[in-house]
Structure 1
Amino acid sequence: YDEDSLEGKFNENEYSQEEPSSQHTTDSLDLVNVDEEDDGTFQGTPLSEIANICQHPPTLSDMKDIRDNNHTFLIKPFKYDPNSPDREPEPFYENGTYVDEWDQDYVRLPCSQSYITKNGTQRWPIIQGSLTKLQHLSETQMATMEDIKETIEECAGRKYEFNCLERLLNEIYSGDERGHFMSTVLSNLCSLALNVDKICSRPPPLLRIGSNRTVTMSQKQAASLLACAFFCLFPRRFNQKIGSEYENYPNPNFNTLFHGGRSGGPTWKIEKLKCVFHYFHRITEKMPNGVMTFRRYQLPESCVPKWTESKEPLCEIHITKNKSIEDV
């Protein structure tokens, strides 16, 4: 790319640059004109060249070798054995032991003994009873949309609207899709939520703004947490007003996704629900045994780029045209 005009065209044999045009400024990028010898499907650097910039993956430390107080493991660190690729990660604490953390530095889980109702009783037994009942209805092919609604509201202790979820299950899904969700997927979601204390064994930390923290969990643990989100089980997340504990966090519970108003929900909500339900369907068929790590890293003030003063040119760019992301 021309550093002055930021214009450029890709030729299959070489890069060519054009003289700056008076119609363009240093803040513009001409993405309209395509080289005549190009097939018209992309502009810039070939994707094959960009993909091969890093020919070797970065070296990762073995989990057992990590000695970082800011790295929290929800699983027992282990060394990957290519001879046992299907090994299931084990929860950090064994034998169904759950070690709770109930403060502003950790995700407050519904299985905590500190999660109590307004009258001082623990909410987890209420949740267990309600989910067990729904699971039985699901397994006997008797569960209805109304049963899901009653279960979620009883678990949360508050009323919600379910127009979007109801529209998806009762109007958009085919009879087979609806039947499979109600009789099979729903039962698995109940099981994942009911066993969150055994699957996770400890709550994940919150990766707060300005912190340098890392959390590693299994895909099954992530699935269990998402099942809790489906049933709107995470405490205190309904209040995101200024000054509240979670004002700077997105609400993980699905109640805002279920709400659709009189129209039954906008298209984007329906499609998002379809995507999440497809994930639920896949983990019901086969639970993956992978491990995932999330890291929040804050750059030191001395390393924060001063964008308005930067003279660095743009890196090589590949722009795909007339193709969907699945075709690239």
Structure 2
Amino acid sequence: MSKQSDHGKRNDSSQMKALLSPGDSKSCPKENTEKHDKQRTNTCEASFSSSSSSSSSSRCVQGGGSGQVESEWRRHREDVTVSLQDLKRLPQCNIRLGHLAFSRTHTVLIDVDIYNCERQLRAQDGRDIWQSNFVKMPCSMSSVINKTGFTMQTERKLRWTVIAKQLAKLAKKPSATVEDVEEAIMKYNPKYKGQWSFDALSSFVKCIPKTENYFSPLFPKIAALALNLPGYIKKAIPLLQRGHTASITMSQVQIACLLANAFFCTFPHRNTSGPNAEYHNYPSINFTSLFGNWSERKKEKLRAIMHYFNVVTNDDTKPTGLVTFERRFLKNTDIPNWRGSQELMPKLYVTSHGTIENDGTGMLQVDFASHWIGGGVLSSGLVQEEILFLMNPELIVSRLFTEKLGDNECLIITGSQQFSIYSGFSDSFEWAGPHADHLKRDEWARLQRQILAIDALHFRHRGEQYNMIKVTRELNKAYCGFKGHGHDEPDIATGKWGCGAFNGDPQLKALIQLMAAAKAKRGMALFTFGDRKLEEDLQQIYSLLVQKEVTVGKLYELLEDYCSDVHRQRGSHMELFDFIGNTVGGHRSLL
């Protein structure tokens, strides 16, 4: 047997051998080519045995000494992907919510009895709880500021007394400057004087044309909204902590009030992020980092944020619904046995055109999240997650109570409103104007929009991801989010999750999401964001997997084989789709 044939056999791992028909591999005779005067080898490999057939057929493929193979699996294959209209959206789902109710794991910040009877949104009565597993509110009686008077003695004042005085002073003005905003904020954050900068906010107001510049009269309106906090939020807000499944439902007006307080930087104990800080495991919420260090990115971010406040402070346009934030924790007992999974491939729509937020409206829309929810939305970050949070600013409030996501956790937000549209990405991002959201609402007055935040692993080196521990982590992460509460759930709208700056392999990430969707019994729309090659390649490999009736478990074993091959090659290796195509389609590389 030739060396090349031996090498080809060594590429077959023990898992793959179980999937190949026995006794079909054999060496092929050598032949000389006049043009190259080199040896070439014909190698026959058994075709992949489908789950529905006990028979298998073998095919031969020529492989050159360089290890290249002709990818015949790509040719003349019928496309079995579905159209976008074949996938299910929330309006088509028969989800019966019943009466709005609170429970041990579901906190509701409005009065459920009044809502269920009269459909009125009123704050639920409750009490302030100044404990480590609740949001520490600026209006709490336990929140104090130590001030040094003329006698040099330290005086303790209720923090809200100082805050309310400054906000009331601003709210009475017909218009206010950035200097007025800065002065108010520093009165109750004196320890940061000289550390916090407001140059971005100041430059923003100066550079926006007068025809668009409504900010001076808007600042007092935001202050007035923030002042309503004690009346709008009467019940303690629990933290959505690691290792626990729990949810919070609140009104859009309550969210606006909380974000107005974030704008004026009123939340205590949330201004430091060091390892010893009380909230070191939570993202920032006060807007200080957005106000400093001017950049074009900050300008466009502030345009989106200020437009949001302009809408919610207007009695004619302020929103009137509810939003639910659900942290989901996947218990060890709920983690699938991927190798033993018998599910076939789900419905798939793939395109290089369109976007998740537009074409995936009504589906479970994937946020390519950071484990710090919202990522760099309040600083310099400006990729998919940050843009999503700027178009739907109500998502930002999740940073107030959502602890850093663990490996088996996700966050699902139902009912958020889109306020803006945009163009570009990263440095080319621009706020493109207002958006009128005409989505219907469900029984709980939530807009029929579901956003799923799942954080992919960040690989410093691309080769790190070809490791089954990490592949399985990503499978569990995606499944945690895709797993529904019942059988009538919307399908999934996603894209190149964990690619780009996170160095994920788009082919591997596409298959991981496809496997998780299959396990969750949901269809999937994948938007490649202009990547035509990925669109075509995924259509081809998906069609092969469907036609050969490859299960999730068999695909998992193929990924095991591929990872083993990558590590044996120590560098150059064929693409994942070619590896799977050549194996499932009856060919193996002679690398």
How has the CA–CA distance of structure 1 residues 176 and 307 changed in structure 2, closer, same or farther, with 3 Å as cutoff?
A: farther
Structure 2 equivalent of residue 9 of structure 1? none
Structure 2 equivalent of residue 182 of structure 1? 216
Residue number among 152, 156, 178 corresponding to 2:189 in the alignment? 156
Residue number among 326, 330, 333 corresponding to 1:299 in the alignment? 330
The answer to whether residue 108 in structure 2 is matched with residue 73 in structure 1 is: yes
Q: Secondary structure at the match of 1:72?
A: strand
| Superposition deviation, residue 299 in structure 1 | 1.9
Amino acid at match of 2:334: C
| Matches for 1:38-117 after TM superposition, within 5 Å | 44-51=81-88, 55-63=92-100, 66=101, 68-78=103-113, 87-93=119-125, 99-117=127-145
The answer to whether residue 285 in structure 2 is matched with residue 252 in structure 1 is: yes
| Matches for 1:6-17 after TM superposition, within 5 Å | none
| Superposition deviation, residue 241 in structure 1 | 1.1
The answer to whether residue 307 in structure 2 is matched with residue 275 in structure 1 is: no
Alignment check: 8 A CA contact 1:106 1:205 kept: yes
Amino acid at match of 1:58: I
| Superposition deviation, residue 23 in structure 1 | 7.0
**Deviations 1:205-224 (Å, cap 9, x if unpaired)?**
11101112221111111110
- Using the alignment, how far apart are the partners of 2:163 and 2:70 within structure 1? 64
**Matched-pair identity in %:** 32
- Using the alignment, how far apart are the partners of 1:189 and 1:246 within structure 2? 26
Structure 1 equivalent of residue 408 of structure 2? none
- Using the alignment, how far apart are the partners of 1:92 and 1:208 within structure 2? 22
Note the residue ranges of structure 1 that are not aligned, 5 or more in a row.
6-19
Alignment check: 8 A CA contact 1:218 1:289 kept: yes
- Using the alignment, how far apart are the partners of 2:90 and 2:287 within structure 1? 40
- Using the alignment, how far apart are the partners of 2:303 and 2:112 within structure 1? 34
| Superposition deviation, residue 195 in structure 1 | 1.2
If the length of structure 2 is used for normalisation, what is the TM-score? 0.43
Structure 1 equivalent of residue 362 of structure 2? none
Amino acid at match of 1:284: T
Alignment check: 8 A CA contact 1:259 1:265 kept: no
Amino acid at match of 1:295: E
Alignment check: 8 A CA contact 1:92 1:202 kept: yes
Structure 2 equivalent of residue 128 of structure 1? 164
Q: Secondary structure at the match of 1:276?
A: helix
Q: Secondary structure at the match of 1:121?
A: strand
Note the residue ranges of structure 2 that are not aligned, 5 or more in a row.
1-19, 21-46, 48-60, 62-67, 147-153, 360-591
Structure 2 equivalent of residue 318 of structure 1? 349
| Superposition deviation, residue 319 in structure 1 | 2.7
The answer to whether residue 300 in structure 2 is matched with residue 265 in structure 1 is: no
How has the CA–CA distance of structure 1 residues 317 and 108 changed in structure 2, closer, same or farther, with 3 Å as cutoff?
A: same
- Report how many residues are paired: 282
How has the CA–CA distance of structure 1 residues 308 and 239 changed in structure 2, closer, same or farther, with 3 Å as cutoff?
A: farther
The answer to whether residue 269 in structure 2 is matched with residue 236 in structure 1 is: yes
How has the CA–CA distance of structure 1 residues 47 and 134 changed in structure 2, closer, same or farther, with 3 Å as cutoff?
A: same
Alignment check: 8 A CA contact 1:75 1:91 kept: yes
How has the CA–CA distance of structure 1 residues 44 and 274 changed in structure 2, closer, same or farther, with 3 Å as cutoff?
A: farther
Q: Secondary structure at the match of 1:220?
A: helix
Q: Secondary structure at the match of 2:248?
A: strand
How has the CA–CA distance of structure 1 residues 22 and 238 changed in structure 2, closer, same or farther, with 3 Å as cutoff?
A: farther
- Using the alignment, how far apart are the partners of 1:245 and 1:189 within structure 2? 28
The answer to whether residue 253 in structure 2 is matched with residue 223 in structure 1 is: no
Structure 1 equivalent of residue 436 of structure 2? none
Q: Secondary structure at the match of 2:312?
A: helix
| Superposition deviation, residue 324 in structure 1 | 5.3
| Superposition deviation, residue 81 in structure 1 | 7.3
**Deviations 1:261-317 (Å, cap 9, x if unpaired)?**
xxx2252x3322222211111112222220112122222211123567767565333
Amino acid at match of 2:252: Q
- Using the alignment, how far apart are the partners of 1:53 and 1:236 within structure 2? 39
- Using the alignment, how far apart are the partners of 1:68 and 1:270 within structure 2? 42
Alignment check: 8 A CA contact 2:225 2:313 kept: no
Q: Secondary structure at the match of 2:303?
A: helix
Alignment check: 8 A CA contact 2:127 2:234 kept: yes
- Using the alignment, how far apart are the partners of 1:233 and 1:129 within structure 2? 13
Alignment check: 8 A CA contact 1:213 1:296 kept: yes
Amino acid at match of 1:45: V
- Using the alignment, how far apart are the partners of 2:116 and 2:276 within structure 1? 48
| Superposition deviation, residue 124 in structure 1 | 1.0
Structure 2 equivalent of residue 194 of structure 1? 227
| Superposition deviation, residue 323 in structure 1 | 3.9
Higher-strand-fraction structure: 2
Structure showing greater relative contact order (alpha-carbon pairs closer than 8 Å, 6 or more residues apart): 1
Amino acid at match of 2:203: R
The answer to whether residue 321 in structure 2 is matched with residue 290 in structure 1 is: yes
How has the CA–CA distance of structure 1 residues 309 and 200 changed in structure 2, closer, same or farther, with 3 Å as cutoff?
A: same
How has the CA–CA distance of structure 1 residues 197 and 246 changed in structure 2, closer, same or farther, with 3 Å as cutoff?
A: same
| Superposition deviation, residue 149 in structure 1 | 1.2
Q: Secondary structure at the match of 2:323?
A: strand
- Using the alignment, how far apart are the partners of 1:148 and 1:322 within structure 2? 43
How has the CA–CA distance of structure 1 residues 54 and 89 changed in structure 2, closer, same or farther, with 3 Å as cutoff?
A: closer
